[in-house]
Amino acid sequence: MARSVPPTPIPLKDTGAVWLAPATGTSEPMHIDLSGTDGLVIGRSDTRSTFVPDIDLVVYNALERGVSRRHATFIRNQGTLHVIDLNSVNGTSVNGNRLQSDVPYPLHHGDQLKLGDLSLTVSSPQA
């Protein structure tokens, strides 16, 4: 029996570029640049708050889909992209597996990231 090779986490080379595309395909993908930073907060802006996340998902109807203002964060961990749930109310999952809060999980090209009820595909131009 052949062993399957586990996927390699998304490398964050010099550019640190990744794409987030809504699963519905009705909106344009969002380009995320992690160069020059170790992490970015993912969430949604809100007229009732002055906080604006680094990656604002309001364009994807984030409020209606249960995305918290400070929902999760993308971090650079050992040169690869990881996501951490920031104890969000409606949770974060990767490929259908709910994440434990405050624990980094590696992301791979093509992973399905779900924040609340907002499903996004994570991809890398290096893949």
Question: What DSSP string describes 46-97?
Answer: -TT-S---SEEGGGGTTTTTT--TT-EEEEEETTEEEEEE-S-SS-EEETTE
Domains detected in the chain: 29-123 (2.60.200.20)
On the question of pLDDT at 5 being above 80, the answer is: no
Question: Other CB atoms closer than 10 Å to residue 85's CB: what's the count?
Answer: 23
Round to whole Å and give the CA distance between 38 and 36.
7
What pLDDT digit, counting tens, does each position of 36-83 carry?
888 999 999 999 999 999 999 999 999 999 999 999 999 988 888 899
For 72-119, what is each residue's pLDDT tens digit? Answer: 999 988 888 899 999 999 999 999 999 999 999 999 989 999 999 999
